[in-house]
A = this chain, B = another copy of it.
Amino acid sequence: MTKELVLGIDIGGTNTVWGIVDARGHILSTGKISTKGHPNPETFMQALHTSVKAGASVELIPQITGIGIGAPNGNYYSGCIEFAPNLEWKGVIPLKDLSEKHFQIKTRITNDANAAALGEMQYGAARGMKDFIMVTLGTGVGSGFVANGALIYGHDGLAGELGHVIAVRNGRSCGCGRKGCLETYTSATGVVRTAQELLENYQGKSLLQNVPLSSKEIANAAEKGDELSIQIFDFTAQILGQSLADAVAITSPSAIILFGGLAQSGELLMKPLKKYFEENLLSIYRNKVQILSSQLPESDAAVLGAAGLAWN
């Protein structure tokens, strides 16, 4: 039987992963190539096309009706990757056009966090929701806002930069050139900065004093009851809870869905986060907005997100 399928492509700084996905989120075929080391975007797309042709069963490819690409700084409206700091390609890369040229299939592109939101809406924790906020807590903090059942791209395709709302006025320096961005506190690297700051003046003993600091190590230590590590999660939850409460006042979602390493630290983050979130909400929103973890397996989420864009 012929099914309608889509090709989801996740372009990361290191690897590009593709998957052929059905409407229920089953990945029927998958593969990857290195994102790095291609002379130019054109040869990258050739290599990607070759990988899909070689890797996918021959009967699947004709059933692909759409391609979705999640990429850093991917712009839905322009179809381009625009000035992505973590890719070798500089400037504006017309990725949608390149994909349509090589695959001869209609292609849509957006950034990673927007793709994640569409993936959750199609296959994950946001099924059936029309108003929610997706927040990705990774090396940076990304977000995708869905309202009235549609992703908010903004007038120029650049909406949803929750990682760059100012969480602390005149706070930590951010890579964007400003100060106090949410990302500098609640990304994996932000949590490590918190650890460094707190360790500096810490008089007690902590498991963190003898390990290379990473958000994973901090989570491990917190799980073993390490006080300083628990304090780090508490501080992170406070900053995140405050900023999420402000975001709720704008779009009034039914849920906020968290994705990424920190979101997987379970109650370590969730428990204090829910407390600070509720404390900071305007009363009309209290006890109405769920905070959920992504329901997509981490290894497949990016491809499923990109696939969600193709269905959308």
Contact = CB atoms under 8 A, between A and B. Distances in A.
A209 interface: no
A148 interface: yes
Contacts of A145: 250-251
B131 A155 contact: yes
A156 B252 contact: yes
A249 B285 CA distance: 21
Contacts of A177: 283
Nearest to A75: B284
A246 B164 CA distance: 8
A250 B252 contact: no
A201 to B, nearest CB: 22
B249 A161 contact: yes
Contact of A246 (B147, B160, B166, B252): B166
A178 interface: yes
Contacts of A156: 252, 254, 288
Contact of A154 (B131, B155, B176): B131
Given A158-B285, A282-B176, A250 B250 contact: yes
A165 interface: yes
Interface of A is mostly: loop
A205 interface: no
B247 A155 contact: no
A281 to B, nearest CB: 9
B283 A252 contact: no
B155 A254 contact: yes
A173 to B, nearest CB: 14
A252 B285 contact: no
Given A169-B169, A246-B165, A282-B161, A253 B176 contact: no
Contact of A250 (B176, B242, B251): B251
A33 interface: no
A154 B253 contact: yes
10 smallest CB-CB distances across A and B, nearest first, come from A154-B252, A159-B252, A155-B254, A131-B155, A161-B249, A165-B246, A147-B152, A164-B282, A158-B252, A148-B150
Interface of A: 129-131, 143, 145, 147-148, 150, 152-162, 164-166, 168-169, 176-178, 242, 245-247, 249-254, 280, 282-285, 288
Given A176-B282, A178-B282, 15 more contacts: A131-B159, A147-B148, A147-B152, A147-B159, A152-B152, A153-B252, A154-B252, A154-B253, A155-B254, A156-B252, A162-B249, A162-B250, A165-B249, A168-B169, A250-B250
